[in-house]
Structure 1
Amino acid sequence: MGRKIRVVVVDDSALVRSLLTEIINREPDMLCIGAANDPLQAREMIRNLNPDVITLDVEMPRMDGIDFLGRLMRLRPTPVVMISTLTERGAEVTMRALELGAVDFVAKPRIGLASGMTQLAAQITDKIRIAAQARVHRLVAPAPGPEGQAPAGAPARPGLIGRLSTEKIIAIGASTGGTEAIREVLTRLPADCPAIVITQHMPPGFTTSFAARLNGLCQMTVKEARDGERILPGHAYIAPGGTQFHLGRSGANYVAVVDDGAPVNRHKPSVEVLFKSVAAQVGRNACGIMLTGMGDDGAAALREMRDAGSYNYVQDEASCVVFGMPREAIAHGAADEVLPLREIAGALLARLGSGADRQHNRI
């Protein structure tokens, strides 16, 4: 056996600390090397023990988890899995944690904590394993711009494409690290961008906050997809957590199909489900984007999109938090271009603006 993944647990609940320690220590490839009841105790523990992964509660005494996470990612970047409460506030705070650099999160149950955490054991340990492989970066506060202007380094306000296309569809799939990758792409796209359909692996209760956060940052309208609604240019539609999201047709219009379909590749929502529907319904009028994530969900279907005439962009390894789904998409021959995250939106806009999408030329 190789070296074990060394984990520090940070939670103000003695019960949660005990449960997480037991869950972690049952796994042959990981070890809980410390459990702290607040961030100040955790700070010393992390300094002395140098863990591979930290599990971090949000609401704790003396310093909340978000403040602690921000300091940690500025001073000592370490993979973090947040332990979040499944509430509206918990979801909003979790989105902030992912923005600050947390790799992923687990939504702990509000009732039946002991039995609920036991049921989540496989999910918790899977996410710890993924976090141990993740690339985390030092958090750098953006330099303030001149008064009344955006901070230095913020995406430039995207200019309009100049035409609305009701035929073109952009499909995005992502998993671990995807919330920030999706933000990076969408904030660089203009208000009149063709419609975008998105599957980000996320449980029920969190995609509402995710969509609301993006809607406040983007020129496009960003919302959760609703079953039967028309897919419109200038809008981005996010698969609701715990559902399957497909693209359908009603006459000449694209419509959202949101249902309670079975998990695919263990995921609900699944990128595979969305991309297969785009291949079937949109074909050569589609562009596909595969972003950071663990596993192979969507790789085969992205190849189906390409075979149907789609032009596809895949995030490169250096800019991924986890290079699993993009690697598999490349291995399946699904990529037309492999690009750093910050270049994907620009490449897409250049293609849309040049008319290359209408000519269906491979670059």
Structure 2
Amino acid sequence: MEGRPTRVFICEGSAIARAQLADLIGKQPGLRLVGSAAEPITAAEAQRRQVDVLLVGEGSPGKAQARAAAGRGIAVLALGESGPSPVARPAARSQAELAEYGRLLAERLKAASRSAGAATALPAGRPPPPGRPGAYPGRIVFIGASTGGTEAIKEVLLGLPAQMPPVLMVQHMPEMFTPSFAKRLDDLCALHVKEAEQGERLHGGTVYLAPGHSHLSISRHGGGYVCELARSEPVNRHRPSVDVLFRSAAAEVGAAAIGVLLTGMGKDGAEGLLRMKHAGAWTIAQDQRSCVVYGMPREAVALGAAREVLPLNAIATHVMQRLASPLHTD
């Protein structure tokens, strides 16, 4: 409902941290603290309390509980470096720094709530067909995202089976966070998720995340493909850049590629998605309703780069349907 505050429940083992977080959340407009506890509550209990976001610390929900919460439209943010969608812990700092931390925390909580709500408010697509060993030879999936992308990427990857062609991915994120982001996705998803390494050969069933310090692209090598990392100048003010990845997809993979551009501010990835389309790839942009920020996908749509514009919760299904179809030709 319009103007409804984001309802937050804190699950944190430290009574001091719970009190500090409760104080910070209580000072933020648009947030409402609906409870706190030392142990994680169940998804059913969170739904009964009409929780929008679970903010969890020590003893954060495991894979099954995180999936259960997400399935009920409840976002999960974790304090520290583990668990779904981590945020930094509040540390001993000045009042001015705590106030800024509270403001940034509020933005993360609201963004997570919008992302989870947009996904569950839309009709669910039929589940993707199961993967097969050796399926989809020669195919590669490329994903790019920025603001709101951590939740959007998780939504897409949770809908994909373990037996997939390689997936390469750029999420705009500082380098100190990409290792924990990859580990968290690896814990949650059927696919193996890892940071890409220079010269690493691509294998099916694996998602390669660009490390926060380098552009990620691919090149042909010995009958297959390998990851290429470069600490060259930022593109569209970003390193890693989605455009760098998508341009390499157009040049090296062509019509065997699938490109997916998710929520994000700015225009990074739009021009690269257009190059992929011109090379014969199937291209998908997230729709405005399900985006946290409709910037990058909007630019792609304006350029005519997207063959499909889809709600977030339909993207995984359409990727699987496209992989099971003959290569697209104009």
Which consecutive residues of structure 1, in runs of 5 or more, have no partner in the other structure? 98-103, 139-152
Q: Which residue of structure 1 aligns with residue 323 of structure 2? A: 348
Aligned residues: 305
> Taking structure 1 as reference, are residues 23 and 329 closer, same or farther at Cα in structure 2, changes over 3 Å only?
farther
Q: Which residue of structure 1 aligns with residue 190 of structure 2? A: 217
Deviation track 1:80-124 (CA, whole Å, cap 9, x = no partner) reads 3422322xxx3xxx2xx5xxxxxx432437xx4557876754542
Q: Which residue of structure 2 aligns with residue 143 of structure 1? A: none
Deviation at 1:181, TM superposition (A): 0.8
**Partner amino acid, structure 2, of 1:131:** A
The answer on whether the counterparts of 2:277 and 2:306 sit within 8 Å (CA) in structure 1 is no
Query: Alignment partner for residue 275 of structure 2, among 289, 301, 305?
Result: 305
State whether structure 2 residue 301 is matched by structure 1 residue 330: yes
Cα distance in 2 between the residues matched to 1:81 and 1:40: 11
Cα distance in 1 between the residues matched to 2:47 and 2:92: 30
Q: Which is greater in Rg?
A: 1
Deviation at 1:217, TM superposition (A): 3.3
Deviation at 1:17, TM superposition (A): 3.1
Query: Alignment partner for residue 128 of structure 1, among 93, 109, 125?
Result: 109
Which consecutive residues of structure 2, in runs of 5 or more, have no partner in the other structure? 121-126
> Taking structure 1 as reference, are residues 211 and 45 closer, same or farther at Cα in structure 2, changes over 3 Å only?
closer
Once the two structures are aligned, what percentage of the paired residues are identical?
21
CA RMSD of aligned residues (A): 4.5
Deviation track 1:27-52 (CA, whole Å, cap 9, x = no partner) reads 4x42343451335899999689745x
Residues 206-285 of structure 1: matches in 2 within 5 Å? 206-210=180-184, 212-213=186-187, 217-218=190-191, 223-227=194-198, 229-232=199-202, 234=204, 236-247=206-217, 249=219, 255-259=226-230, 269-279=240-250, 281-282=251-252, 284-285=254-255
The answer on whether the counterparts of 2:40 and 2:56 sit within 8 Å (CA) in structure 1 is no
Cα distance in 1 between the residues matched to 2:43 and 2:318: 37
Q: Which residue of structure 2 aligns with residue 100 of structure 1? A: none
> Taking structure 1 as reference, are residues 13 and 230 closer, same or farther at Cα in structure 2, changes over 3 Å only?
closer
TM-score by length of 2: 0.68
Q: What SS is found at the alignment partner of 1:350?
A: coil
**Partner amino acid, structure 2, of 1:172:** I
Cα distance in 1 between the residues matched to 2:179 and 2:87: 12
The answer on whether the counterparts of 1:58 and 1:84 sit within 8 Å (CA) in structure 2 is yes
Residues 16-55 of structure 1: matches in 2 within 5 Å? 16-27=17-28, 29-39=29-39, 50-51=50-51, 53-55=52-54
Deviation at 1:157, TM superposition (A): 3.4
Q: Which residue of structure 2 aligns with residue 101 of structure 1? A: none
Deviation at 1:333, TM superposition (A): 1.9
Cα distance in 1 between the residues matched to 2:67 and 2:200: 40
State the structure with bigger RCO (CA 8 A, min sep 6), 1 or 2: 2
Cα distance in 2 between the residues matched to 1:184 and 1:251: 30
